[in-house]
Amino acid sequence: MAVQPSAETAETSATEAVPSADRWWRDAVIYQVYPRSFADGDGDGIGDLTGVRDRLPYLAELGVDALWFSPWYASPQADAGYDVADYRRIDPAFGTLEQAEALIAEAHALGLKIIVDVVPNHVSDRHAWFQEAVAAGPGAEARDLFWFRPGRGEDGELPPNDWQSVFGGPAWTRTANPDGTPGEWYLHLFAPEQPDLNWNNSKVREEHESVLRFWFDRGADGVRIDSATMPAKDPELPDFDPAAPPVPHPYIDRDDVHGIYRAWRALAEGYERPRALIGEVWLADPVRFAHYLRPDEMHSAFNFDYLNCPWDAADLRRVIDATLAAHASVGAPASWVLSNHDVTRHVTRYGRADTSFGLALRQHQVPTDLALGTRRARAALLLDLALPGGCYLYQGEELGLWEVEDIPDALRQDPIFHRTGGLDIGRDGCRVPLPWSGSRPPFGFSPEGAAAGPWLPQPAAWAAYTAQAQDGVPGSMLTFYRTALGLRRAEPGLRGDAFGWLDGHPSGVLAFARGDGFACLANLSGTAVPLPAGAEVVLASDPGLDPAAGSVPDDTTVWLRTR
């Protein structure tokens, strides 16, 4: 088997072959903790910081490098915590600030870094700023922190423009004046409980920089930036056709948004151990995407092109090439991600006829072959972990969990479901509480004898998928993840940015070299393909693969040593 990269793709190299301790994000495996659904320590049916602290050893044993926490701040929970009322307090459902500080210290003692979420586009309608703005009435200085505008129409009864909410329906809600008469409207690109902030106001900028310092001073190693392309708005708030939006867009990826992140980068670099900025950047244009990763902006960003990509060798190769090229242009590490708290779990997606994903194309009640989806999910993990850069895992994927699609409508909580009248079933299915042990719900998510059940119902079939049921079992998904993550950390060939495609394989096969004598082969061809002559199988996604048979089955990835 040749180990030289093809002429088609030049080998790239990082500034440092092995990232230093203060550049940990370049090749880290980061595990997303969705606190509400991870583990319930007090028995109220809602996950909390006590539950997470109890399971930090589990996460360390899994072999990840860092934990990213979805918002744990004080919030009315209109959008599962992404409606922040106070960044300096922990929501009582999750615990206290002292518990968060203890969690950070305990994680650090286990070698785990901590990333917290920030949501610069909006706050909660219960935030003190918004409460003051509504009470103050039109023309008040407090209203300039948001986007308050008079309505159109004879009596101001129509929204100020035709913008639509990401969650469905108009992006404007009308207020009442202090005397009770109909008042101005305010902008919310998400739920009405999430008023958008006006980043043209210096107080907004100063407050967010203060919030970053607050958490960095308490040991947070980085921040994940929610909806990172959206805080800057065209101050004219123009109408536009969503099917043919103008360039620049009125509220997505405007050039002035980059000033926010340059200031944040300077702040993060001011610490003795620089903190990381990680962006949620949904953009189709790879050049515009790379702008967020310039040396004076974010350190890393989620690779949604890869997440959305179907399980198809040609499509994956195209996305991998585009990803590596875009990141190389700005010297940033690539990232690879398959699932998170907003998307259909990839075990489910990969078991469908259409294996792609898109927020506007969320599939529901579609036939799913979970056995096939699981097989492909295992193959996808080895492919992800072998690519240069960082990797993000979503809680529960290490257990092989699938999207729960039969939640009764009365129990659904996602505002997407309610604002679309159920046309979009929303994200609850990937947020169902994790199964830890036992043979029936709550599967150890809550303490024995807890008075309240899990906040979303768990499938009875998860009894065979608990962490306890899979612990130490050869071939289980949990054992597979632990093995793969351990090998990734130990294998010199998987460090740095060395990468090159390997030619000479059948159509539908992805094969590439990483460093000296290490390679990855993913077979998506629809049939078994020959195992490269002289190669030693280090790890296979198919637990039943027999190297002596000399072939790699379909939907299987293998790591190979070629020297």
Question: What positions carry a catalytic annotation?
Answer: 226, 280
With contact defined as beta carbons under 8 Å apart, do 491 and 519 qualify?
no
With contact defined as beta carbons under 8 Å apart, do 91 and 72 qualify?
yes
Q: Please tell me whether the peptide bond between 231 and the residue prior to it is cis, using omega within 30 degrees of 0.
A: no
| Residue 299 structure tokens | 């350190």
| Residue 398 structure tokens | 């290490």
| Distance between CA atoms of residues 521 and 254, nearest Å | 40
| Distance between CA atoms of residues 532 and 180, nearest Å | 76
Residue 78 CB-half CA count within 13 A:
18
- Give the amino acid at 14: A
Q: How many residues does the chain have?
A: 563
Phi then psi for residue 375, to 5 deg, are: -60, -45
With contact defined as beta carbons under 8 Å apart, do 13 and 29 qualify?
no
Could you tell me the CA-to-CA distances from 399 to 317, 439, 442, 469 in Å, in that order?
A: 27, 15, 16, 10
| Distance between CA atoms of residues 328 and 325, nearest Å | 5
With contact defined as beta carbons under 8 Å apart, do 62 and 30 qualify?
no
∠ Cα 49 435 354 (to 5°): 110
With contact defined as beta carbons under 8 Å apart, do 338 and 307 qualify?
yes
Element (H, E) at 42: none
Interhelix angle 258-269/202-217, nearest 10 degrees: 30
| Distance between CA atoms of residues 443 and 415, nearest Å | 27
Long-range CB contacts for residues 38-41, cutoff 8 Å, separation at least 24: 38/395, 38/433, 38/434, 39/434, 39/436, 39/445, 40/433, 40/442, 40/445, 40/446, 40/447, 40/450, 40/454, 41/447
Could you tell me the CA-to-CA distances from 152 to 161, 178, 203, 407 in Å, in that order?
A: 8, 20, 29, 40
Phi then psi for residue 92, to 5 deg, are: -55, -25
Residue given tokens 């082969």 in the structure block: 521
Residue given tokens 């702008």 in the structure block: 291
Distance of CA 469 to the CA centre of its chain: 27
With contact defined as beta carbons under 8 Å apart, do 277 and 299 qualify?
yes
Strand partners, 201: none
Nearest to 535 by CA among 553, 519, 555, 554: 519
